[in-house]
Amino acid sequence: MFIVNSYFVAVLLCIITMLCWGSWGNTQKLAGKSWRYEFFYWDYVIGILLFAVLLGFTAGSIGEQGRPFIEDLKQLNAVNFWSAFCGGVIFNASNILLSAAVSLAGLSVAFPLGVGLALVLGVFINYFGAPKGDPVILFVGVFLIVAAIVCNGLAAGKIDNGSNNSFAKKGIWLAAVAGILMSLFYRFVAAAMDLDNFEQPTVGMATPYTAFFIFSLGIFVSNFLFNTLAMKKPFVGRPVTYKEYFSGTMKIHLVGVLGGIVWALGTALSYIAAGKAGAAISYALGQGAPMIAAFWGVFIWKEFKGGNRMVDILLAMMFVLFISGLSLIVISGGN
């Protein structure tokens, strides 16, 4: 299987993770013009599972290092299987709430709040679960990214986009709950892997490719419960049916599948990089995604259009703080 042997390469993969995690929401924005988020989310989940299978039989099966995908899957013990599977269930509960929050409050509000909470809590959980890197530099970097997220939230609060205020408030609450749940999932998946030795992983533990596949199964299986409930008892709008979902065009379904693939690529690379960078650093770099989402919201979707000079100052501070924090997180792993 493909294994990362360089910290520099691991950091590059984590940066790609950040770009993917911050960009998949664009596909929801595109589909949302004519497609309910509950329908989009089914396509998104299918895209994740398809990518996990493809990755396992390609990068997870090549080379002489580590255990090939199928062999690794067969030897995985029940404890580690269910750990990765539960990670998928927890993630799915958080992400479906985040998707609902995006549909209610917008990309530039829901992402910074939800993923920002996940960043703060998740770094602590993952660092103390598997310490790696200089903790002082790491947590200072995380603090700067949180400050950037606060600037983003303040800027968003000064924009009147004409949306229904009650919907926006509901979206903010959903994003907060999503963030708390999202902070927990990564540790469950990391616990199923032997982060200290991907070349000769401990018997019964998973390689990143197997862990990601089991994780994606957890997402897919739990979606029959979570998304069915969301369809029958939606946060906003009328209930929808599976008959309506299957009436969608191939083009609209593929937009959701693409969103799942983009997110899955980022997540898989985060797991692959965790062996060299450490779970906390890998997670923290990936969770810089709110600023990537903010970039899309600012420059592509024009979600801050009409803002005053203070909004511009806050956005400038956001990007400076974000880049500074990201740099410190990278440096922390080299110490």
pLDDT tens profile 175-232: 889 989 988 998 899 899 988 888 888 999 999 999 999 999 999 999 999 999 999 9
- Whether the Cβ atoms of residue 239 and residue 233 lie closer than 8 Å to each other: yes
Distance of CA 26 to the CA centre of its chain: 13
Which helix (H) or strand (E) segment holds residue 166: the answer is helix 165-191
Burial of 320 (0-12, 13-18, 19+ CB in 10 A): middle
* pLDDT for position 160: 61
285 vs 31: which has the higher pLDDT: 31
* Residue 334: pLDDT over 70: no
* Residue 23: pLDDT over 60: yes
pTM of full prediction above 0.85: no
Q: 236-256: b or e for each residue (b if 16 or more CB lie within 10 Å)?
A: eeeeeeeeebeebeeebbebb
CA distance linking residue 198 with residue 2, whole number of Å: 10
Number of H helices, E strands in the chain: 14, 0
**Amino acid in position 37:** Y
Give the Cα-Cα-Cα angle 154, 116, 37 (nearest 5 degrees): 95
Token representation of residue 269: 């690379």
Annotated domain spans of the chain = 7-332
pLDDT tens profile 242-290: 999 999 999 999 999 999 999 999 999 988 998 887 777 777 777 677 7
257 vs 28: which has the higher pLDDT: 257
* pLDDT for position 287: 67
* Residue 12: pLDDT over 80: yes
* pLDDT for position 162: 54
Instruction: Taking residues 33-52, report their average pLDDT.
Output: 93
CA distance linking residue 168 with residue 164, whole number of Å: 6
